[in-house]
Amino acid sequence: MDKIKIVIVGYGNVGRGVMKAIDANDDMELVGIASRNPARVQKEVTSVPVVFMDDVATWKKELNVDVAILCGGSKDDLPVQGPAISKHVCTIDSFDNHSCIPQYFATMDENTKAAGTAAAVSIGWDPGIFSLERVLASAFLPGSKADGFYGLSESGGLSMGHSDALRTIAGIKDARQYTHAIPEAIDRVRNGKSPEFNAGDMHWRECFVVLEDGADKEAIEAEIKAMPAYFEPYKTTVNFISQEELDSKYSGFPHDGCVVASGITGEANKATIEYRCTWESNPEATANVLVAHARAISRMFKEGKTGAFTILDIPPAYLSQYSQAELLKNFM
């Protein structure tokens, strides 16, 4: 069987995760990495060619690429790279700016249909797996409401977006932000209260901050807590620590979360559905989900399907490394 030939676009934490994930899937093969700075990445990666990101038509052809996995960020990278690259080759991305997904999907759908390619968009654990679980819960328990919680473990889950936001503040040298779910809120959903939560009812935020020399602790703590959307609606704690402590205790990328839905069946019988995942490495977990979708999109494209797809549009068997006969025998 021909292996699915994959290019990684953007070699950050998720891109590195995709590289490892491809190794764990026998039906796939990494054929190259596309970067804005190929010379820098080629120093680290010697096993495959590193090509210039913008030369899509060239590397698509020369590397015989089936699928490009876009590992850039949702703010600046994907809105440009998604349409530009999917003009030439099937793509997978993890566009995760929830409120902009309808617009991004429409752009990608129009673009890929015109180009005769296929794209899986907004793939990962949320949006992605959690989106799927929300849809399943609402289909199986009409009238129920599913809520997502993040940072269930005692140490919470590392939020890259909030860590980046902290580092934009003048006087902050380095920082990490851990999100914590509020257990009582999860219990309220489990108990079928279908509560209408404000953001601050569901999560609190724990910051570990390294200051620049001479920075004003109190002013910075106040600035963090007042940052709109990121910290203002939440209970937020700020811990000032040394760079050494940050590097030794908070250098990983752990995260976890759950989707909880509660509803009824029949007239009044209670029903609860809960999906939970725990990742020691959040970017590697995202990478694994992206890679499974590369398999699905490659299959769908071979069947002649074009356009944009979310996880909701893909028959789950297409994600699997197993044949239909194996799935019927061992998984049903």
Residue selected from 187, 265, 302, 323 as contacting a copy of itself according to rule CB under 8 A: 265
CB nearer to a copy of itself: give 230 or 279. 279
Q: Under the criterion CB under 8 A, does residue 193 sit at the interface with a copy of itself?
A: no
Q: Which is nearer to a copy of itself, 84 or 101 (CB)?
A: 101
DSSP for 109-126 reads HHHHHHHT-EEE-S-SBT
Strands across the sheet containing 157-158: 157-158, 172-181, 203-211, 236-240
Considering only the stretches 56-64, 85-93, 202-210, 316-324, report the one whose residues sit in contact with a copy of itself under the rule CB under 8 A.
316-324
Q: Which of 79, 279, 298, 307 binds a copy of itself (CB under 8 A)?
A: 279
Segment near a copy of itself (CB under 8 A); pick from 38-46, 63-71, 122-130, 236-244: 122-130
C-alpha to C-alpha distances, 87 to 54, 194, 238, nearest whole angstrom = 12, 43, 45
Binding mask 17-56 for a copy of itself (x = CB under 8 A): x--xx--xx-------------------------------
138 is a site residue for a copy of itself (CB under 8 A): yes
Give the residue from 8, 76, 3, 14 showing the smallest Cα distance to 255. 14
Interior/surface letters 98-109, b for 16+ CB within 10 angstroms, e for the rest: eebbeebbebbb
Q: Which stretch binds a copy of itself (CB under 8 A): 2-10, 67-75, 235-243, 320-328?
A: 320-328
Q: Using the rule CB under 8 A, which residue among 213, 267, 303, 304 binds a copy of itself? A: 267
Residues 86, 94, 122, 179: which binds a copy of itself (CB under 8 A)? 122
Here the tokens at position 153 are 């473990």
Residue whose CB is less far from a copy of itself, 154 or 213 = 154
127: preceding bond cis by omega (within 30 degrees) = yes
Compare residues 189 and 241 and give the one whose CB is closer to a copy of itself.
189
Q: Between 170 and 312, whose beta carbon lies closer to a copy of itself? A: 312
Contact predicate 129/136, CB 8 Å: no
Cα–Cα distance list, 286 to 13, 126, 127, 129, 243 (Å): 10, 9, 10, 10, 27
Binding mask 86-105 vs a copy of itself (x if CB under 8 A, - otherwise)? ------------x--xx--x
Residues that bind a copy of itself (CB under 8 A): 17, 20-21, 24-25, 98, 101-102, 105, 122, 127, 129, 131-136, 138-143, 265-267, 269-281, 284-285, 287-289, 292, 295, 310-317, 319-322, 325, 327-329, 331-332
